[in-house]
Amino acid sequence: MAETASTGGDLHLQSLTKQFGSFVAVDDLSLTIPQGSFFALLGPSGCGKTTTLRMVAGLEEPTAGRILIGADDITDTKPYRRPVNTVFQNYALFPHLDIFENVAFGLRRRGSKNVKQQVDDVLELIELGHLARRKPTQLSGGQQQRVALARAIVNHPSVLLLDEPLGALDLKLRRQMQLELKRIQTEVGLTFVHVTHDQEEAMTMADTIAVMNNGRIEQLGDPASLYENPVTTFVANFLGQSNLVRARVTSRSGEHLTVDVQGTTFTMPRARCTSESDDIWMGVRPEKIQVNATAAGANTILGTVTDTSYIGVSTQYLVQLGFGQELTVVRQNDGAPILRPGQEVYLSWEPAHTFGLDARQDAKAGVEREEGELVPAGDAS
């Protein structure tokens, strides 16, 4: 089967759509994933991440749209002919085969030469060579995860799909595996499409992140630009935290935008406001806000501390503004005294750290609740 040899090339999704009955799970999704990049699909539960991956793997038939690798249209190619391999959400290791045979499965199906050498090499890479003759059930979760990864990368696919492969691991092992995954990706140089709903995971690992919501891509970019320049309230809230305050644009002069918030004037770079309307959400990240005892400089507003939570490396405050809204402020614990509830403080931030979003959007979109549930996420899968 020579058709599975890796041909290289970028992965293109063109207007990909998947409907289950009348429910649209993936909605007109278009993407280009450059060859050799580490790409993360990030989104809340049920937003269509798995469905997207399954369409790329050929396990789900798209309702509309095309999938291409390089110039090859693989939309109608059978899964066993696609140069794509998947690390499944639950690993899906073959319970009746030992680790060696699990990893060798793809090679044997393609009639590869020197299977033993290749399997040994990849087991070496994931540091599990000594467990080659164990059955999957005799391995720990982290080890199984590495086997699932080895079983996929040993085939040198053009694209490797990873569906929340770290979801079942505890936090510490997860951080460790993230580094390991990143190392392996750099080492083997394959295109990784990594699905996750953990934003920290996406930020630390990926070159490019696509934030997905309700079957659509909300925003695409490298981690820093997504974080610094969210273009929707969903992205602003889902990637980290944001303070969104309703503001009215009073003037647009040159590079700057002046807005009015209940009588206080703020400025922000015009380029950081994605809305042309006069009603906007003015956004600022909690760690960008300075806390001062006296009014100093531009973008300053008076507030009262209502809540203090000490997190060790930093302290998070809730500060209530004169008109009732509370802002979240995060301060490094660098020795400055901890503020007490009831204390009056002046909040200020650089105009450059302010961003503006269209006010017609829901300010609470993508806000994470205590248990990690998301407010407008659609159905859980």
Footprint of ligand ATP on this chain (CB under 6 A)? 20, 23, 25, 43, 45-51, 197, 378-381
Q: Report in angstroms how near the CB of residue 167 gets to Mg ion at its nearest.
A: 9
Q: Under the criterion CB under 8 A, does residue 95 sit at the interface with another protein? A: yes
**Which of 73, 109, 333, 360 is in the footprint of another protein by CB under 8 A?**
109
Closest CA to 83 of 13, 12, 158, 150: 158
d(CA 47, CA 41): 10
Q: What does the per-residue mask of binding to Mg ion show for 36-55, with x meaning CB under 5 A?
A: --------------x-----
CA distances from 126 to 160, 177, 312 (A): 16, 10, 35
Helix boundaries (H) for the chain: 49-57, 99-109, 115-125, 141-153, 171-188, 199-205, 223-228, 233-238
d(CA 156, CA 150): 10
Pseudo-torsion of CA 243, 244, 248, 251, nearest 10°? 60
The rounded radius of gyration (Å) of the Cα atoms in the chain is 24
d(CA 67, CA 72): 9
In three-state secondary structure terms, 255 is coil
Q: What does the per-residue mask of binding to another protein show for 122-151, with x meaning CB under 8 A?
A: ----------------x------------x
Q: Which of residues 147-206 bind another protein (CB under 8 A)?
A: 151, 155
**Which of 44, 106, 286, 303 is in the footprint of another protein by CB under 8 A?**
106
Q: Report in angstroms how near the CB of residue 22 gets to ligand ATP at its nearest.
A: 10
Q: Which residue is nearest to Mg ion (CB)?
A: 50
CA distances from 180 to 72, 86, 249, 322 (A): 31, 17, 47, 49
> Among another protein, Mg ion, ligand ATP, none, what binds residue 20 when CB lies within 5 to 8 Å by partner kind?
ligand ATP
Q: Give 24's strand partners.
A: 19
Total site size for Mg ion, rule CB under 5 A = 1
Closest CA to 340 of 291, 268, 290: 291
**Which of 37, 65, 70, 92 is in the footprint of another protein by CB under 8 A?**
92
Q: Under the criterion CB under 8 A, does residue 58 sit at the interface with another protein? A: yes
> Among ligand ATP, another protein, Mg ion, none, what binds residue 84 when CB lies within 5 to 8 Å by partner kind?
another protein
> Among another protein, Mg ion, ligand ATP, none, what binds residue 220 when CB lies within 5 to 8 Å by partner kind?
none
**Which of 1, 171, 224, 293 is in the footprint of another protein by CB under 8 A?**
1
Q: Report in angstroms how near the CB of residue 126 gets to another protein at its nearest.
A: 17
| Binding window for another protein (CB under 8 A); candidates: 12-20, 72-80, 312-320, 366-374 | 72-80
Closest CA to 161 of 185, 136, 128, 186: 185
Q: How many helices (H) and strands (E) does the chain have?
A: 8, 20
26: its two tokens:
């993936």
Query: Side by side, which strands form the sheet with 72-73?
Result: 23-33, 11-20, 64-69, 72-73
Q: Report in angstroms how near the CB of residue 50 gets to Mg ion at its nearest.
A: 3
Q: Report in angstroms how near the CB of residue 79 gets to Mg ion at its nearest.
A: 18
Residue number, 26 or 249, with CB nearest to Mg ion: 26
> Among ligand ATP, Mg ion, another protein, none, what binds residue 94 when CB lies within 5 to 8 Å by partner kind?
another protein
Q: Under the criterion CB under 8 A, does residue 86 sit at the interface with another protein? A: yes
List of residues 6+ apart from 262 with CB closer than 8 A: 321, 322, 323
Residue number, 30 or 225, with CB nearest to ligand ATP: 30
In three-state secondary structure terms, 339 is coil
Q: Which residues bind Mg ion (CB under 5 A)?
A: 50
What is the contact surface with another protein in residues (CB under 8 A)? 1, 4, 57-59, 78-81, 84-86, 88, 90, 92-96, 105-106, 109-110, 138, 151, 155
